[in-house]
Structure 1
Amino acid sequence: MAITNTDRTSYFPLIEKRYGEKMSYWYAVMKKLEGKKYPEQIAHLKENYGFSQAHANALVMYSRGSKSAARFSSVSDYYKSLDPKQAKLVKAIFAAIKKKHPKLTLVIAWNQPMLKSGEKYVFGVSTSKNHISIAPWSEKVLKKFAPEFKEYRVTKKTIALPNDWKVDQKLLCDMVAAGVKEKSI
């Protein structure tokens, strides 16, 4: 069962069921790991109890005081967290796409802005200090459009663009159209 709620406690019934102990037991385990670094706590749960990464992360982060995985309640909150230059670029990218594809929905998922067609993700953006990454949510679409981005770093899932990239509306819209078409098949 997939968790769609960002509240870390939403994992707890699954943790109890899968690992056979009540949460009080797991709180005691985490108490013993108090003061250890995050990777050590995660490794302990995975190696000693067979926890998945998602379950271990939920328990570790909850025990560290983080009750929710959500950092942004809206796209505008996300924009406020960015450097103004990056925010301007990300807004321009989404504006260009939404102009041609107004039925797509702009949402926050995994603490990043994403465009959805119905229930399927078709495009996303993430940021780091020196670049932004765009993701068409399809390896097939990425492979098709990779030659258009040959001067940039292209991985299996993303394209890293400089913070001063000039938005190419046609290219972005063609990429998104290919993704929407693929998802609707």
Structure 2
Amino acid sequence: MEALKEYLEKIDDPLQRERVEEIFGWIIKKFPQLLPELKWNQPMFTDHGTYIIGFSTAKHHLSVAPEEFGMEHFAEDIAQAGYSATKGLFRIKWNEPVNFELLEKMIEFNIMDKAECTTFWRK
């Protein structure tokens, strides 16, 4: 998680920082093959040079971005989890539980779907 240390240190609210650390730690433990990176000042996880999932923090929520294709694929699951969403991301409010099952499904899907991908973003 060293690559994301600088980002984490900039999260002023200690409870929010702890929550993001928990999520990132879970991803690192569950998917040790993924590389945590900071690109465009945003934390993300990549696999063989291709984007898998990214995050950003805001005052009231943590944004999760599995790419638009991932958002479309999991739109129903995201709605059932009660998260608000846009075309490219969904939001987990700081006072909402994290649906780790949904995160796991999204990450596994992107790893599998992008196994042969040779670009950072889907084309």
Counterpart among 146, 160, 165 of residue 75 in structure 2: 146
Structure 1 letter corresponding to 2:94: N
Q: What is the number of equivalent residue pairs in this alignment?
A: 112
TM-score (norm 1): 0.56
CA distance in structure 1 between the aligned counterparts of 2:73 and 2:111, rounded to whole angstroms:
14
Task: Report the aligned-residue RMSD.
Answer: 1.6
Higher share in helix: 1
Return the offset for 1:167.
2.4
8 Å contact from structure 2 (residues 92, 98) kept in 1: no
Q: Map residues 45-64 of structure 1 onto 2, 5 A cutoff.
A: none
Return the offset for 1:94.
1.7
| 1:22 matched residue in structure 2 | none
| 1:164 matched residue in structure 2 | 95
Return the offset for 1:87.
1.2
Counterpart among 52, 77, 82 of residue 122 in structure 1: 52
Identity, in percent, stands at 33
Change (3 A) 1:74 1:99: closer
Gaps of 5+ in 1: 1-72
TM-score (norm 2): 0.82
Counterpart among 91, 94, 107 of residue 176 in structure 1: 107
Return the offset for 1:173.
1.1
8 Å contact from structure 2 (residues 61, 91) kept in 1: yes
Deviations 1:76-128 (A, max 9, x none): 11111112122112112222222221100101011011000010110011011
Counterpart among 32, 57, 71 of residue 102 in structure 1: 32
8 Å contact from structure 1 (residues 92, 167) kept in 2: no
8 Å contact from structure 2 (residues 43, 55) kept in 1: yes
Return the offset for 1:146.
2.1
Change (3 A) 1:78 1:131: same
- Secondary structure of 2:64 counterpart: strand
